């Protein structure tokens, strides 16, 4: 059997959006401004606009390399927590999560690959 987006339950996008926002609030103390979720077979892409944490915004002026490292560490934490919550809450097995974030535009893209 091939895994297709039709295997996602009717409230899947809403539930996933809620989890994404909740993990953001847990890590950054603030939710996302907006997000859009697209499903493709065994993959999901989340496009989101974030609100930059003020402390990181201030540090990025004089400590750009430090904020790049902090952003990378926070993204790794986010992916780990997000995977745990997806598997526990939505009862789907995640193969991997890829994420990138642009601090200038505050845009992020997250790709979730599910196991078949």
How many other C-beta atoms can be found within 10 angstroms of the C-beta atom of residue 46?
Answer: 21
- CA–CA dist 50, 97 (Å, integer): 18
pTM: 0.89
Q: What is the pLDDT of residue 2?
A: 45
- 42 DSSP 8-state letter: T
Count, residues in the chain? 116
What 3-state class would DSSP assign to 11? Answer: coil
How many other C-beta atoms can be found within 10 angstroms of the C-beta atom of residue 48?
Answer: 22
Q: What is the pLDDT of residue 3?
A: 54
Low-confidence ranges of the chain (pLDDT < 50): 1-2
Q: What is the pLDDT of residue 52?
A: 87
CA angle 50, 74, 99 (to 5 degrees): 65
């Amino acid at each position: 059997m091939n895994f297709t987006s039709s295997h996602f339950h009717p409230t899947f996008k809403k539930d996933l959006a809620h989890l994404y926002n909740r993990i953001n609030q847990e890590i950054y103390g603030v939710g996302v401004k907006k997000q859009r979720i697209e499903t493709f077979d065994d993959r999901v892409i989340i496009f989101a606009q974030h609100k930059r944490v003020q402390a990181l915004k201030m540090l990025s002026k004089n400590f750009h390399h430090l904020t790049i490292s902090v952003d990378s560490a926070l993204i790794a934490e986010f992916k780990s927590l997000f995977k745990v919550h997806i598997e526990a809450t939505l009862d789907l097995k995640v193969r991997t999560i890829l994420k990138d974030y642009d601090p200038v535009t505050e845009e992020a893209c997250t790709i979730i690959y599910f196991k078949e």
